[in-house]
Amino acid sequence: MYQDKLKNLLIKVQNGSLSIEDAVSHMKGLPFEDLGYAKVDLHRKIRNGFPEVVYCEGKTMEQIQGIFQVLMRTETNILGTRASREDYEGVHQIAPNAVYHEEAHCIVVNPTKNNQSEDDHYIAVVTAGTTDISIAEEAVVTAETFGCRVKRIYDVGVAGLHRLLAKLDLLQKADVVIVVAGMEGALASVVSGLVENPVLAVPTSVGYGTSFHGISALLTMLNSCASGVSVVNIDNGFGAAYSASLIMKEITGGIR
Amino acid sequence: MYQDKLKNLLIKVQNGSLSIEDAVSHMKGLPFEDLGYAKVDLHRKIRNGFPEVVYCEGKTMEQIQGIFQVLMRTETNILGTRASREDYEGVHQIAPNAVYHEEAHCIVVNPTKNNQSEDDHYIAVVTAGTTDISIAEEAVVTAETFGCRVKRIYDVGVAGLHRLLAKLDLLQKADVVIVVAGMEGALASVVSGLVENPVLAVPTSVGYGTSFHGISALLTMLNSCASGVSVVNIDNGFGAAYSASLIMKEITGGIR
Amino acid sequence: MYQDKLKNLLIKVQNGSLSIEDAVSHMKGLPFEDLGYAKVDLHRKIRNGFPEVVYCEGKTMEQIQGIFQVLMRTETNILGTRASREDYEGVHQIAPNAVYHEEAHCIVVNPTKNNQSEDDHYIAVVTAGTTDISIAEEAVVTAETFGCRVKRIYDVGVAGLHRLLAKLDLLQKADVVIVVAGMEGALASVVSGLVENPVLAVPTSVGYGTSFHGISALLTMLNSCASGVSVVNIDNGFGAAYSASLIMKEITGGIR
Amino acid sequence: MYQDKLKNLLIKVQNGSLSIEDAVSHMKGLPFEDLGYAKVDLHRKIRNGFPEVVYCEGKTMEQIQGIFQVLMRTETNILGTRASREDYEGVHQIAPNAVYHEEAHCIVVNPTKNNQSEDDHYIAVVTAGTTDISIAEEAVVTAETFGCRVKRIYDVGVAGLHRLLAKLDLLQKADVVIVVAGMEGALASVVSGLVENPVLAVPTSVGYGTSFHGISALLTMLNSCASGVSVVNIDNGFGAAYSASLIMKEITGGIR
Amino acid sequence: MYQDKLKNLLIKVQNGSLSIEDAVSHMKGLPFEDLGYAKVDLHRKIRNGFPEVVYCEGKTMEQIQGIFQVLMRTETNILGTRASREDYEGVHQIAPNAVYHEEAHCIVVNPTKNNQSEDDHYIAVVTAGTTDISIAEEAVVTAETFGCRVKRIYDVGVAGLHRLLAKLDLLQKADVVIVVAGMEGALASVVSGLVENPVLAVPTSVGYGTSFHGISALLTMLNSCASGVSVVNIDNGFGAAYSASLIMKEITGGIR
Amino acid sequence: MYQDKLKNLLIKVQNGSLSIEDAVSHMKGLPFEDLGYAKVDLHRKIRNGFPEVVYCEGKTMEQIQGIFQVLMRTETNILGTRASREDYEGVHQIAPNAVYHEEAHCIVVNPTKNNQSEDDHYIAVVTAGTTDISIAEEAVVTAETFGCRVKRIYDVGVAGLHRLLAKLDLLQKADVVIVVAGMEGALASVVSGLVENPVLAVPTSVGYGTSFHGISALLTMLNSCASGVSVVNIDNGFGAAYSASLIMKEITGGIR
Amino acid sequence: MYQDKLKNLLIKVQNGSLSIEDAVSHMKGLPFEDLGYAKVDLHRKIRNGFPEVVYCEGKTMEQIQGIFQVLMRTETNILGTRASREDYEGVHQIAPNAVYHEEAHCIVVNPTKNNQSEDDHYIAVVTAGTTDISIAEEAVVTAETFGCRVKRIYDVGVAGLHRLLAKLDLLQKADVVIVVAGMEGALASVVSGLVENPVLAVPTSVGYGTSFHGISALLTMLNSCASGVSVVNIDNGFGAAYSASLIMKEITGGIR
Amino acid sequence: MYQDKLKNLLIKVQNGSLSIEDAVSHMKGLPFEDLGYAKVDLHRKIRNGFPEVVYCEGKTMEQIQGIFQVLMRTETNILGTRASREDYEGVHQIAPNAVYHEEAHCIVVNPTKNNQSEDDHYIAVVTAGTTDISIAEEAVVTAETFGCRVKRIYDVGVAGLHRLLAKLDLLQKADVVIVVAGMEGALASVVSGLVENPVLAVPTSVGYGTSFHGISALLTMLNSCASGVSVVNIDNGFGAAYSASLIMKEITGGIR
């Protein structure tokens, strides 16, 4: 696409419809809006069919509102992650249709009603325990905002294998499995040994002492003796869902 | 026991008293109740004669109450660990006989009156200092809820060996010794050199600077030059008492 | 599939064609051959259509030969990873058609001639530098043994962006991109910002000083500011290729 | 016992059969032989019925021989751990009945023929993979030298759960289970969820990259979501077997 | 200069205009004012033409005021870093012309009006994201207080290369580039590959999980595959600007 | 002394003035008072002429008061470290002559008026910066309570060597030097190169980013290229002063 | 320059002297030669007037020779770093004028005779000890190959300040100072407090124990209490010299 | 002394017996000999009565010989640490009276015959195990070369307290105790609780797994719950003996 754009620009130069100066400035990249504190990308939906995403943590209310305002000019839906309720209220002032997912700490603007396909493809989101659910919900909201179907399988940690085995069907029929686990994170290895599709593992900061805020689970997942596991940052439910959505898009030939 | 269950199921299929569909669904595991956010195991007491345990930290009040409610349908006693006073008050609303152990941060529901044996077997719970007592009490409440007798030996760190030697009798007659120590954690090695029974070591996060929230004590215990020491997670009084109770059950042929 | 197997077993019990004892023993799992030092899985190809894999490092020659011998009874091709030339020579004695990939440290037994598809789908394997090639080749051999087409893009680290941009076409048309990079590992973020498909990142132990044998690159990849990157263990070219092959299988509806 | 000794000494002083000077010198401890470079304990067997143990690594041949020479004056059997074949040959010169266990890197002097009981009690030693066997064998030799029966269950890592489930009987009937696992070490959690007796976990340095020479497996085991797991140092098969033997001694009322 | 001072002192001794006692006491160093809790350097401006700097964090209000009071006796401008608004208010009481830079957490006393040169030389301060701006502003205020011109290029992280390329001109014409980036910190490598002047990299503590409060970005920068990058402490915008100002002073033959 | 005590006990047994039972119980150690949560040592002053010390952090008010109450029965002075003002107020209720040192976070009960010697011996307490003073004051209060003279040399970090050299006399005449420094902690090496007496180094948690709460300074001090430096825990002003006081006692033949 | 190139290309398209296809392919970057295993940059000298650099460690002899062969087509001088004597001999076969700097582990091809300026500008390269010299020499050879004058000041660590002060003149007159130090690395802070120009600090892996192969020195340098220090990777003498050369080029208006 | 030197120089300038130029050059420090690769200090014996010390590791034979050659011009004895037998042989060529201490890896040149005092003062050097002896011997040789008497107490680790208590007399009568221990390093805390004089703790790299090459022992020692312990670098027997010798010199009023 970048190549195409480049060729188009050159054709315009060749046929005289674009001056060299303008071509140079266009060529430096895809358009974005420069707010000073942020360069807001306006064409991600065009580029890859995905919603725009705003990482809210650490931004001031003014910055968050400014960025949403620019993005709302596009028709796309917008996902705000790591957003507090306070952040949501600020966004809600300028985007009356914004929805807040409390447990997932996510804001969704322009949520599409029927964006989920009717077919059989889905992502399974699995957690080891109850306290991992907050991160799992970030993954769920992300994947759904990106148009994927999701099935939740929560609190099936390896301490009671029978709970996991009871959901084996659901696991094995998923196209992609996202495993969310803190403490020792062993669930990713066990799940990966039971399914034949890609597993995306999300270590969580759940635990105490030598869980080291998620490092123990992270290392477990990176060293998984079962093949087919790849890993994202600690507590990064969003990242796992993003990768899973890319895979789903490829499988189904478009956004699901 | 899992094997027996399996055989029983198959016998029922063979003699026609169970359909194949039902057998498959039963076979996937022991029963549990699915609350969505938690899959609550109902038969641990049946399986291993132990109380059910709820790890409270990081769960919402609704989740804690929901899980206790399901567990209370069994007749077993229930242990809630890492519970704040607030958690306790929520549980107390639905379980009037719940007791709160402030220093141990534990809730016990259905506390059995006379569950402690009259024989000589006991677990010694030893601390290096006064500030380790909170974790030690978690071990004490756990072991007692699991039906074991406990004797406390507190504040006998190696800086004043005479305090430890004064309790030598009590130490050497214990079946299992739990050593709870922060800072440099040397007590585990010294105790293990003095007794001839298994030592379970609990590093605590007591200390400052290079104690690194318990890592120093953990490493000391893992590297103990005295044999017979095994180690649990930092501040995991519960875990040490659980393992100790398993050993006591084996020694005495049942829950003590 | 595990479910189906279970149902089939129960149907046989129900209709009397299988005794309860035999059913119990079959039910405990899929068949494998027990060599004492190894339990060799014989049906992976049946289960997921993939070759069997032997991790050679740390195994004695006797163990490696024993495992290959069992696997060779199946008709599948076999991949040996982290294999020294000496390991290869031992395997070659019992498997005359074994091939050794020196740079990748891989043995392939029964290499299928024409297992690569003729269509457009491929995995791009990208390295930051020349010294990352050994790990990249492990990924290449793995993916090819698993039936995928691969295109190599080597030595395109971010220090000279023009080298990467010159290969943009090749990158953007790949279904999955594997990025192999040591030192600071920045290439994964940059590539992921340029493509719209999943990126699997392999940190390598290339570097010195604060590269900490791959930790620096690993952290970079886990913290990638560009979404769509998931990460495997340091130097785990095999693992990335395995995950990539799972994705390819899903995209193309079978092994490619 | 230490108390008894003290009382006996005092009685002798009181009745005049021991001078005060001699009492003081005796009182300072149990007897040992001072070789300058080593103070060799001569009465461990008397104290706790266990063999003497010599940690060979890092000692010179002269030191190893000197220590064995002193210990051989007792009638007990002697275990040398982390011993190279060269160490063994030096010991063999002075102890013709010494036996070398190659894979376990252990020397046993005076190996008792029939020291294993005929009853049902046994320790199960389980490994995740083939490359963990060396450490597992250290545990096996230790436990057997200490008079315990052992059953081996090797190469049953969680990547193929069916291999583990096939050995469920053997696991569940053991009095104590030692789990030996490297890489991500998830096996300890899974095993502990399946059995109702104490689990001693030994992380091994098997793996590469982020296994960090056993740290990943260690953390997994310390954070086990399944209760009843306690942990020893990385690669410390001896330590786990020592603790397991102490538990066995308590269960069976003596050395098995 | 220290040499010159020494020679001058000796000449005075030689010609009798200075007693030996006085010479000894002068020789011990350049003058400073001793407040007990602080030894305030009074002659930095004289020595290197730079303003005095006060690091405010961790100092009491009394200490901060005391130090500013002494420094204000000189005619130099004074920079207070890591200053809270509360610190500012305390300084403002004694220095009415003090200015507070909220985002940079900096106080400037005696801000020189026209200290910025009219020539072409400037430092470019670049950030990867919006949340890195606070640290970048510390660098900006520092450099400007030291008399340098600065141009800001914010939110041009590598996830969207087109945003960076759009500012290529501005980057390449700078004399020194300060790159401020958290998370994976890849921007420093990419920028350094695009420019031909020195790059000073400031890792920030922006991020979560494995960003480890800036360690990930720090390691990335230290391992940069592009040459010409040197690094300062995490969040040390001041330090980078100080080094950059030293370079600017050398290039332009004086404070700019 | 322990030896003498032992002999005395035996003589009493021998001459019949002490029963064997009493001897055994006395022999187990020096007397202490057992409060359950604490075993309070009553005879340290007798043993080594030093005050008793209470580490207050992490203890409840009841525990602190209980321990002080027991200690106050002796005539010794008592030092409470890491004590908040609130802790002080609790102690003050039961010990009206208690004094609080705010900056040092120390309580002193029974502060001896004239316990400081009139001779030339003193400890120099040196800090790198102003923010290290709090830890330095803990050392000062400790050493003074232990009867030593102290001279303060504050804010003489290596960034301005002239400030340190100006105090060279004071440094070189001290019997022991305590160096308190955070950030990079280089002061300990430099001081040790300038003096010919023992240097005790206290790393402080002052700094940010890669100071890692004192680890950077700790490592610097442990690796000092200048000989004669030994190190205590991060922020352990008390420990350095305790060791220094032991040395002073030896030099001067008693408490100073 | 990149901009200019872009404009030139567009002008050629506009005036028809370049086809669109060719423009696209040219536009993707500056020319390089693609060897498969390496993309060799041919125009660095043209771009920034600097020699080409080959990092030899981890490359095979064939790769090293191949890369030198391509670079030798340019007229520039070539620097090979981290080169063993064996590497040198391989290069020497194809480049008879290659010179090997044993202590620096560097190869220089086409060493320019008189490339060092006659003016006063120079870089001072300082080491703390004798064992740091190897890394310092890497810096010296690099800077000289890049046309800079260098003065060596070796073995002036802070343990003996008089050795450093004796070279104060030489230090203070340098335009840039490179400080090379292992162990505790304090020299960088002390030097930076004495000079008024930029200091580039190179931690070395010299030391043992807690020097952690250079981490201690690295942390010291990053936390330097003296401003004006920036840091490169452990043992990266090349990197420091590269940055220093960039600064020198700016100061002197060209390569020195 | 430095002050005196300064005054003397000034007096000479004042009375004309020294030119200003010469004074400046003298003033820059105490004399040393500049070998280029080393600045050899010639007057340490004069300054502090101690032998000169050469750290041999990492130096070439030429460098070692050169430094010894310069030092031998003084009449002092010389200590070479971390010296291999090969290093010794090189030194022996130029210093026929050089002695090699194999276990300590030390060379001593000009060993004084009767430099040990006849009085009661001594340093006790204690080890936990046999494998710590090598480091302990480095301390012994150092202290003896510095004129101190030493008593060895080896292999008295806390696993068998009776061995330590048997040596209580010897421990308690020492002026300074050096504790050398690897693995968990608990011996330092226990010893410090038993003696009333300063303890210098040397962690050793003895151990495996989580001993982390001495880090575990180091942390234990830094966190010692017994006061009076200060710590040196891992395996730094020399450093502990150096500090101990400084203390001994102060106690006895001169070199012992």
Selection from E165, A26, A7, A25 nearest residue G13 by Cα: A7
**Residue G177: φ, ψ to 5°:** -115, 130
Which residues of chain D are under the pLDDT cut of 70? 1-7, 21, 23-31, 42-49, 75, 112-118, 254-256
Q: Assess D166–B contact: CB distance below 8 Å, yes or no.
A: no
Read off the DSSP letter of residue F16.
T
pLDDT of residue F40: 83
* Confidence class for position F197, pLDDT limits 50, 70, 90: very high
Q: What is the pLDDT of residues C10-65, one digit of tens each?
A: 778 778 787 776 666 565 555 678 888 888 876 554 445 678 899 999 999 999 99
Per-residue pLDDT at D12: 80
- Residue F256, pLDDT score: 38
G contact test, residue of E246, E251, E252, E255 with most G CBs within 10 A: E246
Contacts of C127 in chain G (CB under 8 A): none
Query: What is the residue-averaged pLDDT of chain E?
Result: 87
**Closest C-chain CA to G204:** C209
Which of the given ranges, A163-167, B89-93, F114-118, has the highest pLDDT on average? B89-93
pLDDT of A174 over the 70 cut: yes
How do residues B10-60 score in pLDDT, each as one tens digit?
777 778 787 776 666 565 555 678 888 888 876 554 445 678 899 999 999
Residues from chain C that touch A233, judged by Cβ atoms under 8 A, are 222-223
Contact A152, A57 (CB under 8 A): no
What are the residue ranges of CATH 3.40.50.1970 in chain E?
123-252
* Residue G161 tokens, joined: 């300040």
Say yes or no to pLDDT of B89 above 70. yes
**Which of H43, H44, H35 minimizes the C-alpha distance to H64?**
H35
Strands G106-109 and G78-81, by their bridges, are antiparallel
F29 vs B: CB within 8 A = yes
- Could you tell me if A16 lies within 8 Å of chain G, comparing CB atoms? yes
- pLDDT tens profile E44-69: 544 456 788 999 999 999 999 999 99
pLDDT mean over H134-143: 97
> Searching chain E, which residue's CA lies closest to the CA of residue C189?
E159
Please, which pLDDT band fits residue A1 given cuts at 50, 70 and 90? Answer: very low
Which residues are registered as beta bridge partners of H32?
H41
Residue with structure tokens 């011998």? C69
How confident is residue F63, by pLDDT bands cut at 50, 70 and 90? Answer: very high
The pLDDT of residue C32: 75
Q: How many CA atoms lie within 13 A of D109 on its CB side?
A: 31
Range of lowest pLDDT (D155-164, G222-231, H89-98): D155-164
For chain B, give the mean pLDDT.
Answer: 87
pLDDT at residue A79 greater than cutoff 70: yes
The predicted structure's pLDDT at residue B114: 45
Q: What is the mean pLDDT of chain A?
A: 87
H contacts of F196 (beta carbons < 8 Å): 47-48, 246
Contact H250 F246 (CB under 8 A): no
Model confidence at E234: pLDDT above 90: yes
Mean pLDDT of H38-63: 78
CA B204 – CA B227 distance, rounded (Å): 21
* Least CB–CB distance from G196: residue in E47, E169, E228: E47
pLDDT at residue H226, rounded to an integer: 87
Tens-place pLDDT, residues H162-177? 888 888 889 999 999 9
Residue E43: per-residue pLDDT: 57
Question: Which candidate in G14, G25, G27 is best for mutational testing of the A interface (most A CBs within 10 A)?
Answer: G14
C128 touches chain G (CB under 8 A): no
pLDDT at A170: 92
Q: What digits encode the pLDDT tens for the residues A35-45?
A: 888 888 765 54
Query: Which chains lie within 8 Å of chain G at 3 or more CB pairs, if any?
Result: A, C, E, F, H
F39 contact H CB<8A: no
pLDDT in tens, B110-143: 876 545 555 789 999 999 999 999 999 999 999 9
Q: What is the pLDDT of residue H252?
A: 85
pLDDT (0 to 100) of residue A120: 86
CB contact under 8 A, C233 and A240: no
Interface contact B227-D250, CB threshold 8 A: no
CB proximity A233 to C under 8 Å: yes
For residue A121, the distance in angstroms to the closest alpha carbon of chain D comes to: 25
Neighbouring subunits of A (3+ Cβ pairs under 8 A):
B, C, D, E, G
Q: Using alpha carbons, select from C241, C147, C198, C193 the residue that is nearest to residue A249.
A: C198
Please state the ipTM of this predicted complex.
0.87
The architecture (CATH level 2) of A123-252 comes to 3-Layer(aba) Sandwich (3.40)
C-alpha F204/C-alpha C220 separation (Å) is 30
Burial class (CB in 10 A: 0-12, 13-18, 19+), B142: buried
Distance CA(A145)–CA(A123), nearest Å, equals 13
Question: Residue A111 has what DSSP assignment?
Answer: -
**Closest CA in chain E for residue F126:** E37
Which candidate in A155, A189, A195 is best for mutational testing of the D interface (most D CBs within 10 A)? A189
Tell how far CA A9 is from the center of its chain.
Answer: 33
Q: Does A103 touch chain B (CB under 8 A)?
A: no
G130-146 confidence digits (pLDDT tens): 999 999 999 999 999 99
How many beta-carbon contacts under 8 Å exist across A and E?
Answer: 60
Which helix (H) or strand (E) covers residue D245, if one does? helix D237-252
The reply to whether residue D3 touches residue F11, judged by beta carbons under 8 angstroms, is no
Cβ pair F207, E213 in contact under 8 A: no
Say which amino acid occupies A62: E
Q: How many CB pairs under 8 A join C and G?
A: 61
Are A58 and E155 inside 8 Å of each other by CB? no
Residue (of G156, G172, G76) closest to G115 by Cα position: G76
Interface size B-C, in CB pairs within 8 Å, comes to 29
- As beta bridge partners, residue E81 has E55
Residue E202 contacts G, CB cutoff 8 Å: no
CA gap C211, C189 in Å, rounded: 17
Looking at residues E109-128, what average pLDDT do you find?
Answer: 78
Average pLDDT over residues F227-247: 96
pLDDT at E28: 52
Interface membership of B181 toward F (CB under 8 Å): no
G130 touches chain H (CB under 8 A): yes
Nearest to G239 by CA among G142, G113, G158, G173: G142
**Average pLDDT estimate for H23-29:** 58
Mean pLDDT on B188-206: 95
Residue A41 phi, psi dihedral angles, 5° rounding: -75, 130
CB G84 within 8 A of CB G71: no
Checking if the pLDDT of C254 tops 70, the result is no
pLDDT tens sequence across A99-139: 999 999 999 998 765 455 557 899 999 999 999 999 999 99
Sign of CA dihedral A165, A171, A177, A180: negative
Residue ranges of E strands in chain D: 32-34, 39-41, 52-55, 78-81, 99-101, 106-109, 123-127, 150-153, 176-181, 199-203, 229-231
Q: Give me the pLDDT at residue E163, please.
A: 86
pLDDT at B1: 43
CB contact under 8 A, E231 and G239: no
Which range has the worst mean pLDDT, E56-65, G92-101, H118-127? Answer: H118-127
**pLDDT of the residue at E255:** 45
Contact B230 D243 (CB under 8 A): yes
The predicted model gives B199-205 an average pLDDT of 97
Put simply, whether C246 touches A (Cβ < 8 Å) is yes
User: Residue B67 above 60 pLDDT?
Assistant: yes
pLDDT digits (tens, 9 = 90+) for C100-156: 999 999 999 987 654 555 578 999 999 999 999 999 999 999 999 999 999 999 999
Mean per-residue pLDDT, H2-28: 68
Give the chain H residue nearest G156 (alpha carbons): H39
- Residue F91: what pLDDT? 97
